[in-house]
Amino acid sequence: MNFKDYKKAKKQDKPQNDPMDNLDAGAKMLLSNFVKDYEGKSYQEILSEIISVATKNRKEGKLSNAELDGFKAMLYPMLNSEQQKELVKIIDQLKQI
């Protein structure tokens, strides 16, 4: 095996980047708590709860566009393409409140 083959094989051996690697400690803790709170619930139940809480907080002036963008940035890499599109749509709707 020559060096080029070795280098190519090593690149293929590298695991995919874990989206959690891009989060700071506070975001990881927040996400961990979120997962614990919603463990065992369906996707629709979780989505409904997020929309409900976010809508309430937006109406009360407790949730800024920057915080919505931060939430989106935190979850986006962990979702499949369909869920990513849905998240963008929901965040855009929440920003209109």
Q: What is the pLDDT of residues 11-32, one digit of tens each?
A: 555 455 665 666 667 667 777 7
pLDDT at position 96, please? 96
Amino acid code (one letter) for 94? L
Max mean pLDDT range (44-53, 62-71, 88-97): 88-97
pLDDT at residue 60 tops 90: yes
Q: Which DSSP helix (H) or strand (E) runs through 89? A: helix 81-95
What does the DSSP assignment read for 12-74? Answer: HHSPPPPGGGGS-HHHHHHHHHHHHHHTT--HHHHHHHHHHHHHHHHHTT---HHHHHHHHHH
> Do 97 and 59 contact (CB within 8 A), yes or no?
yes
Burial letters 23-33, b for 16+ CB under 10 A, else e: beeeeeeebee
Per-residue confidence (pLDDT) for residue 25, from 0 to 100: 73
38 confidence band (pLDDT: 50, 70, 90): confident
Report the pLDDT value the prediction gives residue 82, as an integer from 0 to 100: 94
Average pLDDT, the chain: 79
Lowest mean pLDDT among 4-8, 78-82, 85-89: 4-8
